[in-house]
Amino acid sequence: MSHSERDSVTLSESLKENRKVILKVLIGVTIVIGSVWLLFTLFHAGSSTETSKSGNDQPKSAAAAKVTRESLVKQIEIAAQFYPFQKVDLQAKVAGYVKDINVDIGDRVTRGQVLATLEVPELREELAKAKAAINRYRGEIAHAQSQIRRYEAIANQAKVTHHRLFSVNQETPNLVAQQDIDVAYAQAQSTAAQVDVQKANLLIAQQQLLEAQARERRVQDLVDFARIISPFSGIVTKRYVDVGTMVQVGTESTTQALPVVEVSEVNQLRLIFPVPESAMALIQPDASATVEIPNLHKTFNTKIWRYAGKSDAKTRTMETQIKVENPNFEIKPGMVATVRLTLEQSGDTLTVPLGAVLKNQSGASVLVITPDHHIEERQVKLGLETSTKYEVVSGLSEKELVIVAGRNQLRVGDVVEPKLVTFEQIAN
């Protein structure tokens, strides 16, 4: 074997030895790393176990509230709306054209104020005829009265003449011809009859005068109806016509008559609301109520004014009204309000939040936190219920703590740490 071959064999053996050493080192390092990882894992698991055990020993936090003593009031809130105390569409009783209109929407008016005037030419002609007839019949009455006086004078003269002739003939028979006596008697009877005729004419003329005066009053009434007058003080809430508009008679059912204006009395308002059947027994005259007007940020106490006295078959409610004074016109018809009626009330009674009570077929119960922080279930007897609280008649004492939230996560006998919460927190 040559020298170069020996060197080559020596180098190969040296490389093999180095590979073996490197492999042993890598195996050793791997074993060390694995051992360290195993120890770390076992230590971490042990720590987690200890932490878990330590956590399980801590008491749970429970939202609680104290049993308090206070007055409870059960109320019902009903949506209501304001309406005018009176409202009317003013229509014409005669047909005609609008000659003048003196008001517009929003104007304040007083009772008896002329709001508009209609032009009705034919009424002026009828009124003139009626006045002429009255003057004519008054003239006939005066003529009849003068004729009565004339014929009464003639009748008296004829009666005196007959009496004288008859007396002379009685004293001196045949001094006066019987024919003259008969003629005098006939004249006396004739003139007396003329007096009766003139009296009859007077009665006829007087009756005709009464009829003519009645016709004049009727026509005058129609002329007056051509003026549209406000029946009460208020404001004009609608205007339907302008000058020149043809207005039909409002009393005719065969035509669609157009109103002139709408007037509403708003210095007093009707607040109307429906009361459900459950609260109808509480509605009495002068029963107390509270009214809140959200848009005006205004609340005031008042009394019931009127109610229908029967339940509506469709809505099962009873219309109820409150009269509201509105001297400054601050409240507008159509505004909404909330009416609160007191249904029941109790004073100085034990109360708990609604969320503290669980109701079932066997009754009502609460979870009480005992002084040693254990949970105890307690049966209670309830009284008045409001929108937020119950009245507790029996089963609890003042200042005891009751669970108000998370009840399904707790069990009787659990140890808990009470966390007092406010009513606002309970509501949220």
Phi then psi dihedrals of residue 87, to 5 deg: -150, 135
Supply the pLDDT for residue 285: 83
Quickly count: other Cβ atoms within 10 Å of residue 162's Cβ.
Answer: 20
Supply the pLDDT for residue 54: 40
Residue stretches of the chain with pLDDT short of 70: 1-58, 158, 160, 162-166, 168-169, 174-177, 179-184, 188, 251-255, 423-428
- CATH number 2.40.420.20 given to 62-71+348-427: yes
Supply the pLDDT for residue 11: 46
Q: Where along the chain do its domains lie?
A: 1-39, 62-71+348-427, 121-225, 263-345
CATH code reported for the domain at 121-225: 1.10.287.1700
Supply the pLDDT for residue 13: 57
Strands 416-420 and 60-66: what pairing? Answer: parallel
- Identify the CATH assignment for 263-345 out of 3.40.50.720, 2.40.30.170, 2.130.10.10, 2.170.150.20: 2.40.30.170
pTM above 0.75, yes or no: no
CA 383 to CA 72: how far, in whole Å? 10
Both tokens assigned to 399: 């200042």
Determine the residue type at 78: I
Supply the pLDDT for residue 182: 66
